[in-house]
Amino acid sequence: MPHSLTLTNASRLLTHNLLHIPDSFKSPGEILRAAHLIEKLDCPKMTAEEVTEEWLAEGPGSIELTEPQRDLLKQLAEKHVAKLPPSKAVVSLLTQLGFEA
């Protein structure tokens, strides 16, 4: 069953960075799922000077995740939650993945 994530540019970058934390994956299948998800995110390469508050608040819209991709992303968020700041992007992503306060 596909899952939809509605992403701003900030939450898209957050998700992209979450998928790049070293030693996050334990199997080739997890690496392949992460690689396909990174392709879907399609994050632009930008310098810090190019990133503005307005750009971060905008977004490309929604992406569709497979159940295994969603599970992988949820597992990563849970594993690395101590590294995540309490921001709008984090709250949006965690809420969409099914976490509750």
Closest listed residue to residue 37, CA positions, set 55, 52, 25, 51: 25
Q: How far apart are CA 15 and CA 18, in angstroms?
A: 5
Domain ranges of the chain: 3-96
User: Residue 1's pLDDT is what?
Assistant: 81
User: Residue 61's pLDDT is what?
Assistant: 85
- Per-residue pLDDT tens over the stretch 28-79: 999 999 999 999 999 989 899 999 999 999 987 899 999 999 999 999 999 9
In a 10 Å sphere around its CB, with 0-12 CB exposed, 13-18 middle and 19+ buried, how is residue 38 labelled? Answer: middle
